[in-house]
Amino acid sequence: MLRIIRAFWRDQRGIALVLVAVMLPAIVGFSLLVIDMSRVNNLQNDLQKGADSFALATAAELDGRSDSITRGDHALATLVLNQYNFTTAPGPQNLAAAGVTRRYLRSIPATLNGVPGDARAISAADVITNEVADAKLARFVEIRVTPVGFSTIFPVSFLPGGTNNSWTIGALAVAGFSTSVCDYTPVFICNPYEKTEAAGGLTLEQAASNRDQRRRQLILRGDKFYGPGNFSFLDSPLGNGAKALEQAMAKVRPAACFGQNGVNTKPGQNAGPVLDGLNARFGLTSTYIPSDPPSPNVRMGVNAVTCKSGAVKSVTFNTPAQGTTGLTRDGCYTSGTCTPLDPAHPADAGMLGDGIWDPGTYWAANHIVPGSSPPVSRPFPSGPDIPWTASGVNAATRYEIYRYEIDHGMIADKSTSGDTGTPLCGETPISIPDRRILYGAILDCSELALNGNQTDVPVRAFGSFFITEPIKDGKEIYVELVDITGKGGRGTLDNFLRDEAQLYR
């Protein structure tokens, strides 16, 4: 009997069953806890991803325009549809239906006294309160997802403290939008349509999308008074001395980037640098610089030219009475009858032309059929892909004629006075056709009360302007508006853009 008792005492078979029985409540409880943690993690991820998506979609509309908040709200309501699971409500739920609130912000807290901005609460000063008047200032959006209910499987209420088995889970995201351009000339131009827009008339966006308006020449003046059409310089990593400015104006693509949320103005002496730099695009420099070659098309109605060492020493231009000229100016400039866009501002007369020039006559005089006598003009360019007319509302812009001559191999055509569009002194032209484009930031100078050196000046849009003729008589630059970035733009500046909607919190 004693031997049997000892054997039973020493027998360990079946001990695992005893241990499992003892530990079973803990194993089941831990499994339920793991499942709960997985469920709550999935729910939190769903809500946070939804908040992030809402914030990014909304922030992408904050481009500094007066309707940016309206478009942001539309994006918030229509562009994102998120579902989440594991809430107390049955079945998959729509995040927007659960409730999403937003606040538009002009800024977010920055690092202060060593405390990171992310650790600092958004203050009342950061929040846009007047969403109509201050819509242009909205740079960020805060999206808050209404907390939703979550119930645990694990009996949390059994734990000390009387914890409830359910709680709510929400999400918060802050996103912002920034637009910048690179390889841009460090100049700014005062929006010529600012006053008419304020009066409910023509806007910059409407002008950029309308050929009849783009055809109107604009005179850029380097005046210290920042009125419509006046220009000056931006603070540039290339420097702002006279030599640096000249090089920046002459460069095909200056190595400078500027953000739409804020640029720094740096006005200075500009007559000499502007003239020398911009005229390099026509090859009108006393010294040929291979790094800054002229445009492949410099047609400008030259009467006589003197060359020295491969560069232009002197040049004279045809007058209308002498023969063929280059791309002619708007008729009101010649007659002195240019009127202001807004009659309430008569001082702006002469800044913007009337868009009336004669591309048909230019074409006939500059593209005669070789060997014909008398000269016979080539057909004016037209067709389904180039719907131009010789005159009227759909008359071609000067830039369109300039590009057509390049794209169709017509640069070497001789005009009635014998000049062509090839560089005057045999310089090797650049292969980039848009060499005669001036790129610059467009600022609402009046609204900004722009004066002297200022920092973080918001940019209305970045624009491109076709230089219709070299600078001949002082510091005035005759240009045509080609395109702008953002709403109203036609996409020709997309290669310069660096658009980014990003999460900050």
- The domain spans of the chain are 1-180, 182-504
**Tokens (6 digits) for 7:** 């054997």
**pLDDT recorded at residue 161:** 46
Query: Strand 231-233 vs strand 187-190: parallel, antiparallel, or unpaired?
Result: antiparallel
**pLDDT recorded at residue 162:** 46
Distance CA 475, CA 226 (A): 15
Distance CA 452, CA 374 (A): 57
Contact 32, 154 (CB under 8 A): yes
Count CB atoms within 10 A of the CB of residue 475: 15
Q: Would you list the DSSP string of 27-74? A: HHHHHHHHHHHHHHHHHHHHHHHHHHHHHHHHHTT-SSSTTHHHHHHH
Distance CA 352, CA 240 (A): 28
Q: Backbone dihedral region of 350: left (phi > 0), alpha (psi from -120 to 50 degrees) or beta? A: left
R_g of the chain, CA atoms, integer Å: 34
Contact 397, 330 (CB under 8 A): no
Distance CA 314, CA 301 (A): 14
Distance CA 326, CA 418 (A): 12
**pLDDT recorded at residue 346:** 78
**pLDDT recorded at residue 366:** 86
DSSP code for 448:
H
Distance CA 90, CA 68 (A): 37
DSSP code for 124:
G
**Tokens (6 digits) for 395:** 């008359």
Per-10-residue mean pLDDT, the chain, length 505: 73 70 71 71 78 86 81 80 63 65 82 66 84 83 78 58 62 84 85 85 88 89 68 75 74 79 74 74 78 89 84 82 81 86 78 86 79 63 67 85 90 86 88 90 86 82 91 80 86 80 83
**pLDDT recorded at residue 350:** 77
Count CB atoms within 10 A of the CB of residue 16: 9
**pLDDT recorded at residue 484:** 92
Query: Strand 187-190 vs strand 437-443: parallel, antiparallel, or unpaired?
Result: parallel
Distance CA 25, CA 17 (A): 14
SS3 of the chain: helix, strand, coil, percent, to 5: 30, 20, 50
Give the helix/strand (H/E) hosting 244.
Answer: helix 242-250
Contact 256, 184 (CB under 8 A): yes
